């Protein structure tokens, strides 16, 4: 018998009828003898609705009070699920984050979990109850309600699974797993049976938004196996996200991620001397702008060109900063482009295979796609290309690396 933490997202508990379906699923697993801890999101749309209510009062509502407000959505669903379980004769108890001591720091709206005391949950499990916990919320040292950032129920589930040493943390959502790429772009994208934490972090941060990234970081840190499953299907096995398995035959490439929200800025003719890169990026960071790729070319005539990418929403702000610094540094010119995208190949298997980069570049070239920037890490190669080539590029790479018909990983 196992201890399983299951998390159901907003669409899975979006109506009373769906909550009843969740109850049936949970009761069935309980009947098989498993210890069940359930973490729920608010009904889909509810958190947004609550935020809107506050915003009709003031543009910048008080952060502490927003957490009091936003945390109510989850309190509704945990109570309804427990009522549904009890009505089926399955003993259950619901708890808010504070009641099961999900202790966080005091950063309202984006608090981090620092500790969980699992005693209360364990004692209920020992008495044969299903324990239903509100996702997304915790409590700080002073007893204030906190929330963990949008999508934070995933992190609640993983943190509980780590604290209780659960056998598996299952995330039920509206997709049936993690795919080799976005099926809306590549119709024959394939569901992965298995992916490593590292790969999932690369896929998630690059735009494959299945799980809150922090929940994957947490799972990786505490080695909690995570499984993504569809709550609308009965027999799927979803995608297991777990530590790298040395014995397993590993596909070279696991997936292709992409990001449409990119923009790039280049400062041309910057004097090549110590401190210049810091002078350029310092004010950008001070303005709260995140920089992704950074490239500086080899200086030939004692000047160099400096390029970086930023989120498209920050493009205007960043280019103004770049222009001001260029004047200060006596650089020649600032140019930029906000019609670019980033495409990345991700796979732990590429560590041991040479030639992945050249195959990637050749594939893009054969489609007439010009590569504007390149960056690599141990398990990822990213290129920046013109926005209009996104679909073509991703499809060509998906084909070239045989992702549609890989044998099960």
Q: Choosing among ligand ASP, Mg ion, none, which partner's interface includes residue 325 (Cβ < 5 to 8 Å by kind)?
A: none
Identify residues 131-170 at the interface with Mg ion (CB under 5 A). Answer: 151
Contacts of residue 345, defined as CB under 8 A and 6 or more positions apart, other chains included, come to 253, 255, 256, 356, 360, 380, 381, 382, 397, 401
Q: Binding residue for ligand ASP (CB under 6 A) from 14, 97, 138, 151?
A: 151
Distance of closest approach, residue 259 Cβ to ligand ASP, in angstroms: 21
Q: Does 136 sit near ligand ASP (CB under 6 A)?
A: yes
Distance CA 236, CA 232 (A): 10
193 Cα distance to chain centroid: 18
Distance of closest approach, residue 41 Cβ to ligand ASP, in angstroms: 3
Identify residues 68-87 at the interface with ligand ASP (CB under 6 A). Answer: 73
Q: Does 135 sit near ligand ASP (CB under 6 A)?
A: yes
Q: Choosing among ligand ASP, Mg ion, none, which partner's interface includes residue 179 (Cβ < 5 to 8 Å by kind)?
A: none
- Applying CB under 6 A, the span of 41-49, 86-94, 182-190, 302-310 interacting with ligand ASP comes to 41-49
Distance CA 95, CA 116 (A): 13
Q: Does 14 sit near ligand ASP (CB under 6 A)?
A: no
C-beta closer to Mg ion: residue 73 or 118: 73
Residue 274, both tokens: 């110590």
Q: Choosing among ligand ASP, Mg ion, none, which partner's interface includes residue 73 (Cβ < 5 to 8 Å by kind)?
A: ligand ASP
Q: Does 9 sit near Mg ion (CB under 5 A)?
A: yes
In terms of DSSP bridges, do strands 303-311 and 291-296 run parallel, antiparallel, or are they unpaired? Answer: antiparallel
Site string for Mg ion, 237-256 (x = CB under 5 A): --------------------
Q: Binding residue for ligand ASP (CB under 6 A) from 150, 311, 317, 359?
A: 150
Distance CA 288, CA 32 (A): 51
Q: Binding residue for ligand ASP (CB under 6 A) from 4, 13, 42, 343?
A: 42
Identify residues 373-402 at the interface with ligand ASP (CB under 6 A). Answer: none
Residue 62, both tokens: 């008080």
Distance of closest approach, residue 355 Cβ to ligand ASP, in angstroms: 41
- Applying CB under 6 A, the span of 114-122, 151-159, 241-249, 350-358 interacting with ligand ASP comes to 151-159
**Binding-site residue total for ligand ASP (CB under 6 A)?**
12
| Cβ count near 397 (within 10 Å) | 25
- Closest-CA residue to 4 (of 26, 41, 35): 35
Q: Choosing among ligand ASP, Mg ion, none, which partner's interface includes residue 136 (Cβ < 5 to 8 Å by kind)?
A: ligand ASP
Site string for Mg ion, 99-138 (x = CB under 5 A): ----------------------------------------
Q: Choosing among ligand ASP, Mg ion, none, which partner's interface includes residue 42 (Cβ < 5 to 8 Å by kind)?
A: ligand ASP
Distance of closest approach, residue 299 Cβ to Mg ion, in angstroms: 47
Residue 123, both tokens: 């004692």
Site string for ligand ASP, 341-370 (x = CB under 6 A): ------------------------------
Side-by-side strand order, sheet with 113-116: 113-116, 102-104, 137-139, 145-147
Q: Binding residue for ligand ASP (CB under 6 A) from 77, 96, 153, 344?
A: 153
Q: Does 138 sit near ligand ASP (CB under 6 A)?
A: no
Q: Binding residue for ligand ASP (CB under 6 A) from 6, 13, 30, 47?
A: 47
Distance CA 333, CA 321 (A): 13
Residue ranges that bind ligand ASP, judged by CB under 6 A: 9-10, 41-42, 47, 73, 135-136, 150-153
Residue ranges that bind Mg ion, judged by CB under 5 A: 9, 151
């Amino acid at each position: 018998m196992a201890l399983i933490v299951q998390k159901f997202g907003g669409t899975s508990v979006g109506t009373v009828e769906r909550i009843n379906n969740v109850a049936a699923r949970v009761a069935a697993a309980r009947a098989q003898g498993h210890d069940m801890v359930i973490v729920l999101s608010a009904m889909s749309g509810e958190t947004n609705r609550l935020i809107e209510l506050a915003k009709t009062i003031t543009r910048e509502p008080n952060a502490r009070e927003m957490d009091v407000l936003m945390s109510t959505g989850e309190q509704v669903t945990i109570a309804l699920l427990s009522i549904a379980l009890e009505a089926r004769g399955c003993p259950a108890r619901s708890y808010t984050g504070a009641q099961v001591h999900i202790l966080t720091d005091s950063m309202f709206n984006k608090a981090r979990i620092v500790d969980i005391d699992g005693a209360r949950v364990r004692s209920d499990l020992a008495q044969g109850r299903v324990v239903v916990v509100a996702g997304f919320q915790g409590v700080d040292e002073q007893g204030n309600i906190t929330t963990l950032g949008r999508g934070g129920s995933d992190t609640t589930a993983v943190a509980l699974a780590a604290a209780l040493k659960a056998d598996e943390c299952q995330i039920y959502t509206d997709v049936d797993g993690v795919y080799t790429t976005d099926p809306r772009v590549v119709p024959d994208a394939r569901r992965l049976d298995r992916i490593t934490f590292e790969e999932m972090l690369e896929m998630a941060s690059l735009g494959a938004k299945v799980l809150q990234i922090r929940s994957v970081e947490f799972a990786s840190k505490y080695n909690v196996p995570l499984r993504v499953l569809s709550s609308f299907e009965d027999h799927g096995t979803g995608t297991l996200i777990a530590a790298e398995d040395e014995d397993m035959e590993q596909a070279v490439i696991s997936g292709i991620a992409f990001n449409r929200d990119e923009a790039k800025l280049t400062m041309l003719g910057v004097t090549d001397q110590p401190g210049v890169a810091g002078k350029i990026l310092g004010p950008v960071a001070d303005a709260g702008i995140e920089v992704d790729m950074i490239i500086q070319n080899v200086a030939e005539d004692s000047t160099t060109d400096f390029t970086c990418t930023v989120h498209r929403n920050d493009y205007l702000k960043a280019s103004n900063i770049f222009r001001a610094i260029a004047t200060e540094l006596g650089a020649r010119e600032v140019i930029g482009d906000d019609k670019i995208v980033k495409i990345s190949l991700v796979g732990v298997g590429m560590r041991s295979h040479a030639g992945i980069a050249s195959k990637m570049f050749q594939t893009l070239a054969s489609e007439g796609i010009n590569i504007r920037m390149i960056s690599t890490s141990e398990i990822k190669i990213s290129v920046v290309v013109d926005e209009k080539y996104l679909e073509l590029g991703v499809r060509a790479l998906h084909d070239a690396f045989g992702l549609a018909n890989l044998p099960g990983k």
